[in-house]
Amino acid sequence: RIPSGHLSVSAKNHMFGKLLKPRRFKRKSSLQLSLNSYGLTTTIGYLPMRSPHLIRCFCRSSVSLQGIELQDPKWTQSSYINERRINARNGDIKAMLFLGMTSLKKENTVIDITEGLQWLEKAFDKGEITVATMLGRAYSTGEGVDQSYEKAVIWFRKGAEQDEPKSQYFLGQFYQLGFGVEQNTNTAIVWLEKSANQNDEQAIEGLARIHMELPTPNLQVASYWFKRAADLGVTNAMSDLGYIALETNGEVVDYDTAFRYLHEGADKGDAHCMFNLAEFYHIGAGVEKDVDKQLELLKKASSTGNHFADIRLGFLFEENNDFVEAVTWFQKAANGGISDACHKLISIYTEGREGVPADPAQVGKYQKLIEEETTNSN
């Protein structure tokens, strides 16, 4: 059973049939991001990976305005730029946005960033409040400007105070993470709720995750927000509803409700939903036990590159004393970075199993993989 925001589970979870607290994402120092906003697609720098949820939302989130043609190859022509300057001076907001966004382009050599920022601020002052979100994201990641969380917060706050839902969402996330402000979960919840009340699906999911990750998780409140996100089609939320149902034996989220959401997410191709749905068939949670269905779902999840499914399949085949098949799945999981699978293979190859002889060379191979993983994680 894995919540969608996690990337590793302990082997003990499967050996003893219960969930221990999963380890978080393996943190990397940064993630390169690309921004597609107002028609502009460009690499926008690096954001420290302190929040997998925020990373995902930076990648998914976008603000857009019809009629901004920043992909037009004429943007590099000085005559074209001058024409837009004239339009901007005459109060054309789209021209202001064009000039401002062009100044942020990585390959820009025609508009000074200072001029571009002035046009964007004028557009904001004329009521184009989504500029606040765009500039907040630019300062967050160093897109065309010097990276500054503090300046990002200033712009997110400007947008948030004018009810721009994306600005409210990001401001809430920054308070939750302590980016550019003192960390404050209560303030984070206030801004996220404002955004969620405008049906921003990322804010809705973010609220659920905050309540799920409190020192004392509030699964009742988390499940309320996960249901709202799931009803908007967010498959991560569908997976987490299944997780909560399994964790609480169907008390906080009943099995029937969770099964329905997991089935919907699995049909959409979400591997986490497939994984958790397989667990429903394994224990008979609101459905008859069905090993064949469980294997089918896990193999389908594995085919998407989900290595939790690989290790789960390894344990299932081991339980049935099919060690040759178990080793095949443990190896897939190990090669996918699941250290628990490496430990399992070391045990198997140290002592040997039916059909799998002891092999010191394989023991050394997986010990080396663990050492490399430890070094990389540090």
pLDDT digits (tens, 9 = 90+) for 88-133: 999 999 999 999 988 888 777 778 889 999 999 999 999 999 999 9
Res 111: pLDDT: 84
Q: What is the average pLDDT score of the chain?
A: 82
- The whole-number average pLDDT for the span 160-165 is 96
Nearest to 68 by CA among 46, 90, 36, 21: 36
On whether the CB atoms of residues 29 and 16 are closer than 8 A, the answer is no
d(CA 34, CA 253): 36
Please state, as a whole number, how many other Cβ atoms lie within 10 Å of the Cβ of residue 161.
14
pLDDT at 55: 40
Whole-number pLDDT of residue 143: 84
Q: What is the rounded CA–CA span in Å between residue 90 and residue 123?
A: 12
Tokens of 285: 């949670």
Neighbours of 225 (CB within 10 A): 24
Q: What is the mean pLDDT of residues 351-373?
A: 94
Predicted local distance difference test score (pLDDT) of residue 320: 94
Question: Could you tell me which residue, 143 or 49, shows the higher pLDDT?
Answer: 143
Name the residue type at position 100: G
Choose the weakest-confidence range: 19-33, 63-77, 276-290: 19-33
Give the pLDDT score at 79: 82
- Residues 174-229 have pLDDT tens digits of 999 999 999 999 999 999 999 999 999 999 999 999 999 999 999 999 999 999 99
Q: What is the pLDDT of residues 14-63, one digit of tens each?
A: 222 323 222 222 223 333 333 333 333 333 333 333 444 444 444 344 44
Within 13 Å, how many C-alpha atoms sit on residue 85's CB side? Answer: 13
Max Cα distance, the chain (Å)? 81
The whole-number pLDDT of residue 102 equals: 87
Burial group, residue 211, by CB count within 10 angstroms (0-12, 13-18, 19+): buried
**Minimal CA–CA distance to 156: which of 178, 177, 131?**
131
| Percent of the chain scoring above 70 in pLDDT | 79
